[in-house]
Amino acid sequence: MPRRAPPAAFVNHWVSMIGALAGVLRALGSTLSVTEVAALSGHAFRFAVAPAATDDGAMDASGPDRFASETALPLYAALGCSFAAIEAPAGDPHYNETRATILAAVRVATRAGRPAILYGLHVPRFGIVRAVEGEAFIASTMVSAQAGERLPLSQWPPPGPPVPLRAFLLESRGRETRALADLLRFVVAYAREGDPPGAVGVAGAATGFAAYERWIALLESDAAISPGGHAYCLHALQQARAEAAAFLRDAGAGTATAPPLAAAAAAYDAETLALAQLITLFPYPNGGDISSPGARRIAALYARRVYAAERDAIAHLAAALGI
């Protein structure tokens, strides 16, 4: 039987890239908590709103995993990992060739004992591959407990609307650096400028502050919004910001940055509270009555509170950096 990578198991998380990273790191012996993985990877501070891709409407459940690999990979070094990304957008003329390249690279990585992270295993989310046996992946995803760990290669990417090819391959393990200043510089820049709009993993999504502004504009319009996707994004954003707050409360302890980081944490706490009120209005998975004009007016008010808290948090992080 071909060698398998360590039995990395997906860690249940609304942001599937956090769940995949945490699972890989645990399998490799890392002692980082899920909160630390979420924050140090930068994913606890991201927010993306996807454009309408189907008749279901905008802001589908892909939003939490829309990010640019070029801004993510440098941050992963703080986790003690060096990753390489192989990607292609849906509809790329070299899509099939890139898929073959990824399959070959995953076979090499897993035989060498390195789990791989792929998008679109079972569902359009990130998951972990720890072996390729015959014509099947041995995978751990957010649904593998129900679907089983064996996934035929022919079913990747999954049936349905085309999805981008995204593979993150572990190249080497190093020392965890927990580089706080680099992380905070990313967080402030990301909020203000967002990810490169042409990046494969972004694909037309609004990111950073622009994501909040697109979300509010959608709620204040009559444009179709995905009920389940919107509800999913609320949960993902709430979990991410709760982890951001928890991380920041401890990160600056005993240093001159403690007061602004504590203030940023408090702002993220306020954001999670406003999101809790939205989650009550729009529960997952059915998403509530997102088409109701009255519900959308109320939602827009809460979304503005969420955005105000986000801007407040970023202002405190910028103050901690002196920028």
Per-residue model confidence as pLDDT tens digits over 213-244: 999 999 999 999 999 999 999 999 999 999 99
pTM of the model: 0.96
- For residues 211 and 308, membership in a common domain is answered with yes
Q: Which of 188, 165, 206 is nearest to 58 (CA)?
A: 206
- For 139, the enclosing helix (H) or strand (E) is strand 136-140
Does residue 1 carry a pLDDT above 70? no
| 258 shares a domain with 158 | no
Instruction: Give the per-residue pLDDT at 7.
Output: 86
Query: Sign of the CA dihedral 129, 131, 136, 138?
Result: negative
Q: Yes or no: say if 187 and 46 are a contact pair by the CB < 8 Å rule.
A: no
Domain around 103: 16-173
Residue 175's closest CA among 27, 32, 69, 17?
A: 32
**Are 192 and 167 in a shared domain?**
no
Report d(CA 276, CA 263) in Å as an integer: 20
* Crossing angle of the two packed helices 293-321 and 227-251, in degrees rounded to 10: 20
- Whether residue 223 is contained in a domain is answered as yes
Give the total number of structural domains in the chain.
2
Is the pLDDT reported for residue 319 higher than 70? yes
pLDDT at residue 52 above 60?
yes
d(CA 262, CA 64): 25
Contact 199, 68 (CB under 8 A): yes
> Does the residue 4 lie in any domain?
no
In a domain, 9, yes or no: no
Last residue of a domain, one of 173, 200, 227: 173
Same domain, 106 and 203: no
Domain membership flag for residue 3:
no
Model pLDDT for residues 248-274, shown as the tens digit of each residue: 999 988 888 999 999 999 999 999 999
* Whether residue 228 sits in one domain with residue 103: no
Which of the listed residues 173, 206, 231 is the one where a domain comes to its end? 173
Tell me: do 229 and 158 sit in the same domain: no
3-state secondary structure of 133: strand
**Together in a domain, 160 and 20:** yes
CA atoms of 162 and 13, how far apart (whole Å): 24
| Predicted local confidence at residue 3, as pLDDT | 62
Residue 251 counted as domain residue: yes
Buried b (16+ CB within 10 A) or exposed e, 12-25: ebbbbbbbbbbbbb
Helix (H) or strand (E) holding 19: helix 16-27
8 located within any domain: no
